[in-house]
């Protein structure tokens, strides 16, 4: 039962916005059943990272505890990806991009199918100015998992800073088809349309965000 709750919790966290609270509750239920296993500890800390992304008051102060959890999880399960993924997510949020990339590559060595690690690796490379490598990561991700909304989203976003945002629109539209309730999917499509001088289309996505996730910085 606990490990049925766990993938549901991950899915809710990926949707961003209010669904992260549902994910946190599902994870709490799983821990109540199975105890604080390393994987559950890692994803509980990932809730903290999600809260930082959403701009929740006081969340950034908890990143130090989340980093300590990441190192503890890696020590307990050095063969598993999730501790390294967590460390990479935190590195990205703290602007420690070299460390983020190293940790996320270590995660993907252990689990090449981890969609969260792929996505954060891609945006860490973008933030570090490594646009060609980010595009290469996004292409590999789409090829490996074409039904992942994160794969399609990364493929679209990776085109922005290479000056080819128009090429990314089909990927961003596909990401939204695959995850129609995903706040980040609406934001990335709307942002791309706005940057391309198509405000009427961008407004559709902005209005969705105002209705569903009015309090997050992306809106």
Interval 84-132: pLDDT, tens: 999 999 999 999 999 999 999 999 999 998 888 999 999 999 999 999 9
Is 17 within 8 Å of 187 (Cβ atoms)?
A: no
pLDDT of 83 over the 90 cut: yes
Which of these, 3, 16, 13, lies nearest to 216 by C-alpha position?
A: 16
The yes-or-no verdict on residue 57 having pLDDT over 70 is no
- pTM score of the predicted model: 0.86
Distance, in Å, from the CA atom of 184 to the CA atom of 153, rounded to the nearest integer, reads 9
Predicted confidence at residue 52, as pLDDT, reads 81
Tokens found for residue 115:
């969609």
What pLDDT is stored for residue 215 in this prediction?
84
Give mean pLDDT, residues 197-207.
97
Q: How far apart are CA 12 and CA 110, in angstroms?
A: 24
């Amino acid at each position: 039962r606990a490990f049925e709750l766990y993938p549901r919790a991950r899915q809710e966290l990926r949707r961003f916005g209010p669904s992260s609270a549902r994910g946190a509750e599902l994870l709490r239920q799983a821990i109540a059943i199975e105890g604080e296993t390393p994987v559950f500890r890692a994803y509980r800390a990932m809730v903290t990272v999600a809260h930082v992304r959403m701009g929740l008051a006081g969340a950034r102060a908890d990143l130090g505890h989340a980093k300590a959890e990441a190192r503890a999880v890696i020590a307990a399960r050095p063969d598993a990806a999730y501790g390294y993924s967590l460390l990479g997510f935190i590195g990205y949020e703290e602007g420690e991009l070299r460390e983020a990339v190293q940790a996320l590559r270590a995660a993907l060595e252990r689990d090449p199918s981890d969609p969260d690690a792929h996505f954060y690796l891609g945006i860490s490379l973008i933030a570090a100015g490594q646009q060609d490598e980010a595009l290469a990561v996004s292409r590999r991700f789409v090829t490996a998992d074409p039904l992942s909304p994160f794969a399609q989203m990364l493929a679209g976003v990776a085109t922005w800073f290479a000056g080819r945002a128009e090429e990314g629109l089909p990927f961003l539209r596909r990401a939204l088809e695959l995850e129609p309730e995903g706040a980040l999917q609406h934001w990335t499509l709307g942002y791309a349309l706005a940057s391309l001088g198509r405000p009427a289309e961008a407004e559709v996505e902005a209005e969705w965000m105002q209705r569903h996730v009015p309090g997050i910085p992306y809106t």
